[in-house]
Structure 1
Amino acid sequence: MQARLLLEDGTLFTGTSFGADVEKTGEVVFNTGITGYQEVLSDPSYCGQIVTMTYPLIGNYGITRDDFESVAPSIHGFVVRRHEPVPSNWRAQYSIEDLLKEYGIPAISGIDTRMLTRIIRQYGTMKGVLTTTNKSIEELQEMIAHTTIHELRDQVAKTSTQRIYNVPGSGERIVLVDFGAKSGIVRELTKRGCDVVVVPHNTTADEIRKLHPDGIQLSNGPGDPKDVPYAAKMVSELLGEYPIFGICLGHQLFALACGADTESLKFGHRGGNHPVKELESGRCYITSQNHGYTVTEASIAGTDLEVTHINNNDKTIEGLKHTQYPAFSVQYHPEAAPGPYDNSYLFDRFLEMIREHKRLNPKKPRQAELMAAAKGAL
């Protein structure tokens, strides 16, 4: 079956459909990862986007449930040079085509993905439509025109959990605020014995306090951080009260809560091979990234924030820490392992920060707090 990808600038790509027989609009972006296509497909941060893979062969090692980053994909479309219909891997449970059809995701192969990537790099990300229908170019252009930026970016509510749930552990209690969290964040915390309580994106500071956390984890998520101002407000109210660690969108919300600003990148950072320099040590880490916004460098002046990491490619901010309170953040994904596992140390640093905060600020055991509250009620 034929598939077509039309960009808002009028560029048309015609290829072969290997996904669902549907039509979807989205923001067309590219990912430079050589592997990890299943993690890309299931990453909630890609909600509303049509993702182009720059690596030419996709699908060769199939799909396995163990590698999913969410319960169901939120991606709007998938673009590859060549897809492999018959995977060759002992872990493979089904093919990428099966996955795309199961979740209603359109996909196109057989097009010049290098040309498409060069267009996005030159002109920036843009809206597009991926279709298997016979609609005219004029009809498709009208669809793109009627797709608002707000519809493509305000996706946090669609990817966040709608209820509080607990992943039990015997260690520190971490409240994970879910803005579209990857399951890898939960895995890293539970691996360290943490008692993880996952809460929706719109949970208030008071509601978080009632959960008696030892620390607060701000997750990744899709879209513009300024679309969720209530989240930045929540972070600002809890700063200094609990140790805070932000990842990706959580990093941007942490910056906004501290008085800094964010801005859109021309074509974003998406892939598993982005070099990031830690300023204190001078060491360079290879990181996994997926974001279209960055913290504005000039806005850091006058805040209580200090830059800890920068991107070695374009010198954008990749890490921040608060100079007064136990709080820090990174723009990249320390829970992801694009080959090396070097960045998982940040979770250990977070737990060390929590223990130091507890040592300096001893509190009554939770049971004692509950008994005191019960006596007060009587």
Structure 2
Amino acid sequence: MTVDRLLPSQDARDLIELTREIADKELARRADRHEREETYPSGLFPLLGEAGLLGLAYPEEYGGGGQPYEVYLQVIEELAARWASVAVAVSVHTLACFPVFTYGTDEQKSRWLPDMLAGRLIGGYSLSEPQAGSDAAALTCQAVKTDDGYRITGNKAWITHGGIADFYALFARTGSGSRGISCFLAPGTADGLTFGRPEEKMGLHAVPTTTAHYDGVLLDSSRLLGSEGEGLQIAFSALDSGRLGIAACAVGLAQAALDEAVTYAKERQTFGKRIIDHQGLGFLLADMAAAVDSARATYLDAARRRDAGLGYSRQASVAKLVATDAAMKVTTDAVQVFGGYGYTREFRVERYMREAKIMQIFEGTNQIQRLVISRHLAK
């Protein structure tokens, strides 16, 4: 089903139409095969970059699309409705560009952003570590100052696009305590940087997730973003935006599951009528639709606050929490609508269910989102 979107301009409407055209032509036809075979879609991200879809949330002066965040997120949702792996990777790329745009000097922005936003450089986000996921202040990867810059030693984990990305927004320790973490722009081909075997994941098979090992990697001082000790501030401000990206991905995935369930329910007949006409099934589908619409409203509300320059950290956590929980429920119910067939790989809904699970975990688990929300309420 094509979502009837409320968009702020004709440019935005044209952009959504372009996104749908590309998503139907380039994503929908390839997703099943790449997810089944666990192969990377080579050439796809440069194509998205050429179409202008990798820099939408950033200003035109650096080669971005200059679009409001609410429009960018609806583009992400359209991509996710066809292929969640790709949409998540686009969201992560946008997240990886954030430290350069927000904390970089004019020279750093001019040097790197045009290629990033055009898709000539694809990014990854490297915050988590094997023993420091949600507890970002517990990072142990070290950045020791040298005469020319920094020497990076340590391990990172759960890196989307790991081993393939051209650059990583890297967070490493330059001092002690929570104020001793700094942010760097690490090139993907740096000497001494190696990646582990891709994780054998439940879903999102087409884009690898890996560990990384920094064995005395040398970064020159121009690759420090912001000041020493600003790393956690950079990471957390970036994650507010990144959580909205994941919320949009979750809504797109849930919408796809709802669409497949409705289509099947209108075709499948039992006891002499379509199963959608049985009240038990019809009400289930109605609840699924209400969950999708409600989740979409939460991420759009947060995005509009962001666009207006208002605080939106709590709303971003609400959107991520609501949208990803809704995606898990809607995809599970979609499998139920299909009955036994939903449990087979003949239909996509089992994949959607597997893909939804991780969205409750990354960019801050939903337990962390509840912690963020409760702390805002306590202030």
Query: Which is bigger in relative contact order (C-alpha 8 A, separation at least 6)?
Result: 2
> Which structure: greater helix fraction?
2
**TM score, norm. by length of structure 2:** 0.26
Q: What is the TM-score when the length of structure 1 is the normalising length? A: 0.26
Q: Structure 1 or 2: larger strand share?
A: 1
